[in-house]
Amino acid sequence: MGRYNRVLLKLSGEILAGKSGFGLDLEEVSNICAEIADVAREGIQVAMVVGGGNIMRGQQAVQKGMERAQADSMGMLATVINALALQDSLERMGMSTRVQTAVEMRQVAEPFIRRRAIRHLEKGRIVIFAAGTGSPYFSTDTAAALRASEIGASCLLKATKVDGIYDDDPAKNPQAKRLSSVSYREALTKGLKIMDAAAFALCQENNIPIIVFDVLKRGNLRSLLVDDKPVGSVVCSNPVGC
């Protein structure tokens, strides 16, 4: 087993939408869950925070006139739909899971209780955190950093469609350089769009490295967590020691 025994995986809603960009691509959900199940079977404790942008993009709704708190509440509910889809896929693979929500809805999921979440992880269950922080004005990146801090995660895995952090947008600039590691301070001062400032602050304060990697490449999660191979880019306090 690698250096990370308890991890928080941040999945965006867009990842679950597949090529369509909207809704749920159940084949893509299954592919991602197979990777997660593979590392969980190796004894890695896996918790997840999932976004809802494939169903409800709060920022777009605000730009069209919707009140921000209302739009964020709708976005939080969208994350619950995604969490239940992930749970169903994982359980069909034989994995024991629990969904915990920051907005109470006991008919479909447990409320978020920190000590209970940790106990689930200790028993080998995959825990999926939904509904963000339960409050508007906070991104799911911030929710991921918060939950990672609360459960004592050894790292926060930011699952993306690219293979790490670049000094510019690689989709627009073919000369963009991939950075193997950066400090929290560098990431903020250089304006690297990885996570928001609140998420960075939480990870820095609690010394939780952020690993940005391509979750769509088969085997990446296993290489990182089980084989302890360098995958993606790392944000930490001391890049030399990352």
Q: Output the known binding site for ATP.
A: 10-13, 53, 57, 160, 166, 169
Query: Do 97 and 41 form a contact (C-beta atoms < 8 A)?
Result: no
DSSP H stretches of helix in the chain: 13-17, 26-40, 58-63, 68-92, 114-122, 140-151, 184-189, 197-205, 220-225
* Residues placed in the known binding site for UMP: 52, 72, 133-140
* Residues placed in the known binding site: 10-13, 52-53, 57, 72, 133-140, 160, 166, 169
Query: Do 242 and 188 form a contact (C-beta atoms < 8 A)?
Result: no
- The CA dihedral of 36, 37, 38, 40, to the nearest 10 degrees, is 90
Nearest to 89 by CA among 16, 10, 13: 16
CB atoms within 10 A of CB 173: 11
| 239-221-53 Cα angle (round to 5) | 90
| 227-232-237 Cα angle (round to 5) | 100
Sign of the torsion formed by the C-alpha atoms of 140, 152, 110 and 35: positive
Sign of the torsion formed by the C-alpha atoms of 174, 177, 178 and 184: negative
Read off the tokens for 187.
Answer: 């990431």
